[in-house]
Each structure stands twice: as structure tokens, then as C-alpha cells.
Amino acid sequence: MRKNKQYVRNIIILLVTILIILMVALFCILQSYLGKNTKQVSTNVKQEEKLEQTIELSEMFVVLIEKISDDHIMGYDIHNNKIFNKTIDQTVKVSDSYGKILPLNQIKIGDIVEVNYQEQKDRVISIGKSASVHSWTKISGVTVNTEERYVNIAGKNYTYNDDIVVVDVYGFKSNIANIGPYDIVSVQAIDDVIWSITIEEASASLNLKELPTNNGQIEIGNSRLITFKDVTEPIRLVPGKHKIVIKMRGYVPIATEIEVEAGEVYEMILQDAEIAYTTIKLNISSTNPEYSVEDCTIKVGNQTYRYGEEIRVQQDTYKIEVTEPNHKKWVTTVYLTKDELPLSVVLTAIEEEEETEDETNTSSDASSSESNNSNSSSSSNHMQAITINTDPTGAKVYIDGVLKGVTPYALELKNGTYKILLEKSGYETYSANILLDGSINQDSYLYQLKEKETTD
């Protein structure tokens, strides 16, 4: 009996001991687990504090590059309106607007970049081309208005300010006033404000020298037409090939093709341009078949010819006068543009004119008193009958901008100065001024139209 009690006691002691050992082991395991979590939480907190500190000390700047090298970056801080001037080292990360890594030498003067700068360490972390930039690459036709301070690109105006960077073809800073519409440029802008313009290829120019006349025009590539009076300096051109057509009054047109390089001044010397002549072939007759016209004198401009003599003059506008002792003077104005001009002239015999005047003398004498009273206004109200004709005929006649009819066109006009415009399909438009004041006995005007030249 006593042995059984001792056995039970030993079993209880063993169970208590095992229980104590299990409790101690459980406590150790729990303590170890809690210690690791505490350390992890502490580590995470420290990392978050460090990250917050890093973010706080790193700032992004949008910079317009004015100077950059392996160890230095300087430009204009666009958003803060101040100079950005920092050192850089070989660890700086350089990328394009898509994040692709670039060598540092791909960042040029005039580029707009985003610079990640750590102020605490005075360190530039990264330089990347800004994705917010609107850029145009190698375009022409850009015009600059320095008075109203805007740049026109494809018909739209963009403003600029004093901090704009303009770079010439050699990589040096230039002035915006030096940019012309025929330069090839690259442009960078933010929010419709131009910040930089780089001249990729400077315009070439064409210099017309030793012009034989100032009455002419130059056509460039079927798109530009410039009169000589508007040429005050060499004509700027986009580098490349250009078709040139030069037309001068009194000279054979010059058609050629030139090729110019960027910055080149191409000279065209026109002193030896070929003169264009017209031969005027007159057919003179009289209203009285009994009268001879062999003694006619023909005056073309300042030159005088005898009837039958060859009349060959440089192409221009001329007043032609035909006189003969027994006939009334015949006068007309012609514009010569072709190799030959056939011209028919019918002279009015003087005796026929006198007979006509005699028939009207009676009525004229009867009304002389009335005529004398109106002399003061007769000169200004005097009507003159004229005929406007063209070679070829069928041209529209505009007088002071009003369409009147087609050639040959006869009308009466009061004394005064009138602007005549002649238009015909397939021919160049011709304009002239005529003066009617009764001092010149002229009632016929003939204009020779010139065919339009077609270019391939």
C-alpha cells in the first residue's frame, strides 16, 4: 500500500516538472518572436524616416540650358525665374524624355531639361529632357516680330521673353532678330511660350547685281514673286536647289536653276542680259485714195523714221506718231512684248476734216455766246473718244477698277487720269495710266499682251 502511494507521488512530480519545462520553452519561443518583430518594426521605421528625408531634400527644376560641360551645368530656372548654376559629376544620370539613357554630350545649349537636385549634398542626381516641351525640329518659314514680341510658326503666334536662348549654326548664342523665314530651325516651347530656337542651317541668299533696269521681277520656285523695287538687300533662300525666272522690261527672260548652301551668297550679274527687240511693221493708208502717204514721218518714242524704213526697237511702252503734210496727225500708245507688231494706220486727209468743220460753222457761230459763257468749265467736262485695243484682242478692260468691256473697246471719257487694267486668259495682266487733257491728239491705244510662261 505504501509503495503505491510513493509511485503516484513520483508520477505527479514528473508531470509537474514536464509542465514547467514546457512553459519555460513556450515563454522563450514567444520572447524570441516578439523580439524579432520589434527589431523589424524599428528597422522599417528607420528606413521610412530615411526615405522621407531623401524625398524632402531632392527637388526637381525645369532648366533652360545656357552652358553645360562634364562638371558644370548652368541655365535659367523657368518656374522660379532665376539662374540655375550647379556642379555635376560622373554619377549623374542623363536621359531623354522617355527615360532612355543618353551620354551627357547629347544635352545641348537651348535644350529644356528637368534636373533632380539634392540640396543637402549639393548634388545633381539626374538630368532628363523634359516631356512637357513642345518641339519643332528642322522647320522653315518661321517669322519673328520683335516689336510685338512673338514668333509665328505655321500661322500661329507664340510669345517669347528676354530669357529666350537663340543658338546659331556654330553653337554660339545669337539674337532672335537674326532669324529669317528661310533659316532651317529647331524650336522648343512650354505652354505656348518659345524658350529656345536653334538655327540648324542658315539661309542662303541671292544677290542681283548690275541690273540693266529697275523695271522687272524675279520669280523663285513658282511660289515667290518679287519686284525689283522691293529688293533692298540680298534675297534670302532656303539652302538647296531653286528655279529662278527673271523678267525685265526690254530684255529676254532669264530662266535658270541654282543650288545654294547654307550661309552662301549667290551672285547673279545681269549686266549682259540679252535685249529683246520688236519690229514694228506699219501699213499706212489715207482716207483719200488720191493722196500719197510716202512722205510720212513716224516717230517712235524719241526716234524718227521714214515710211518704209525698218523700225526695230527695244521692247517697252512707246507713243507712236505718224505725220504727213496733207493729213491729220495719227497717235497711239503701244506696249511691245513680241518679236513683231503689225500695225495698220489710216490717216485722215486734212481737206475732209475742213469740210466737216465748215458744215458746223453756222451752228457754232449761232451758239458762240453760250459757248463763251461755259468756257470756264469746258476743259474739265470735255469728253474725248478713245479706243483701247490689244494684240490679241478679247482682253477684259478695267478702268479705275471697273470692268467696262473687252477689246477692241471704244468709249468716251472726261479729261483726267485713268488707270487701265487689261486681262486675258493665258496672258500676263497689263496695267497702265493714261492722261486725257486735250493737249495730245491721240484717240487710239494699242497694248501687246505677253503670253504667260509655263514651267515644268
**Per the structure, how many domains does the chain have?**
4
d(CA 178, CA 393): 50
d(CA 353, CA 205): 62
Asked whether residue 104 is domain-assigned, the answer is: yes
On whether both 283 and 414 belong to a single domain, the answer is: yes
Residue that finishes a domain, picked among 169, 201, 233: 201
Asked whether residue 369 is domain-assigned, the answer is: no
On whether both 124 and 151 belong to a single domain, the answer is: no
Q: What pLDDT was estimated at residue 314? A: 94
Asked whether residue 31 is domain-assigned, the answer is: no
Quick check: 318 and 298 in contact, CB under 8 A? no
CATH number, domain at 119? 2.40.50
Q: What pLDDT was estimated at residue 369? A: 39
403-407-409 Cα angle (round to 5) = 75
Asked whether residue 374 is domain-assigned, the answer is: no
* H-only helix segments in 233-367: 350-359, 361-366
On whether both 87 and 139 belong to a single domain, the answer is: no
On whether both 255 and 301 belong to a single domain, the answer is: no
Asked whether residue 413 is domain-assigned, the answer is: yes
On whether both 217 and 319 belong to a single domain, the answer is: no
Burial class for 126, CB neighbours closer than 10 Å (0-12, 13-18, 19+):
middle
**Own/partner pairs for 357-364, CB < 8 Å, 24+ apart?**
none
CA proximity to 69, closest of 85, 46, 51, 53: 85
Quick check: 352 and 330 in contact, CB under 8 A? no
On whether both 420 and 338 belong to a single domain, the answer is: yes
On whether both 239 and 315 belong to a single domain, the answer is: no
Q: Please give the biggest Cα pair distance in the chain.
A: 190
* H-only helix segments in 244-382: 350-359, 361-366, 368-373, 375-381
Residue that finishes a domain, picked among 167, 183, 201: 201
7-12-15 Cα angle (round to 5) = 125
Q: What pLDDT was estimated at residue 46? A: 60
Give the phi and the psi of residue 5 in degrees, each rounded to 5: -65, -40
Spell out the residues 6+ positions from residue 259 whose beta carbon is closer than 8 angstroms to its own.
Answer: 240, 241, 242
CA proximity to 263, closest of 284, 237, 289, 281: 237
On whether both 115 and 82 belong to a single domain, the answer is: yes
On whether both 179 and 291 belong to a single domain, the answer is: no
Q: Could you tell me the sign of the dihedral formed by the alpha carbons of 103, 108, 111, 115, in that order? A: positive
Q: Which domain holds residue 330?
A: 277-352+382-448
d(CA 114, CA 291): 97
Q: What pLDDT was estimated at residue 375? A: 41
Burial class for 240, CB neighbours closer than 10 Å (0-12, 13-18, 19+):
middle
Q: What pLDDT was estimated at residue 391? A: 84
Burial class for 432, CB neighbours closer than 10 Å (0-12, 13-18, 19+):
middle
Q: What pLDDT was estimated at residue 343? A: 87
User: Three-class SS of residue 389?
Assistant: strand
d(CA 446, CA 102): 73
User: Three-class SS of residue 449?
Assistant: coil
Asked whether residue 164 is domain-assigned, the answer is: yes
Q: How many residues does the chain have?
A: 456
Which residue shows C-alpha cell 510658326? 153
On whether both 122 and 213 belong to a single domain, the answer is: no
On whether both 328 and 218 belong to a single domain, the answer is: no
> What does each of the 456 residues of the chain score in pLDDT, given as a tens digit?
556 677 777 788 888 888 888 888 888 887 777 766 655 655 665 665 555 554 546 799 999 999 999 999 999 999 999 999 999 988 899 999 898 999 999 999 999 999 999 988 889 999 999 989 999 999 989 999 999 999 999 999 999 988 999 999 888 889 998 898 889 999 999 999 999 999 998 889 999 999 999 989 999 987 889 999 888 889 988 888 999 999 998 999 999 999 998 888 999 999 899 999 999 999 999 888 888 888 899 999 999 999 999 999 999 989 899 999 989 889 888 888 889 988 888 888 886 545 544 544 444 443 443 434 444 344 455 677 888 888 888 999 999 888 888 888 888 888 888 888 999 998 888 888 887 776 656 677 888 888 887 654
Q: What pLDDT was estimated at residue 232? A: 87
CA proximity to 220, closest of 232, 235, 201: 235
Asked whether residue 47 is domain-assigned, the answer is: no
Q: Write down the pTM of the prediction.
A: 0.56
Which residue shows C-alpha cell 522690261? 249
Residue that finishes a domain, picked among 129, 155, 186: 129
Peptide linkage before 392 cis (omega within 30 of 0): yes
On whether both 171 and 308 belong to a single domain, the answer is: no
Asked whether residue 53 is domain-assigned, the answer is: no
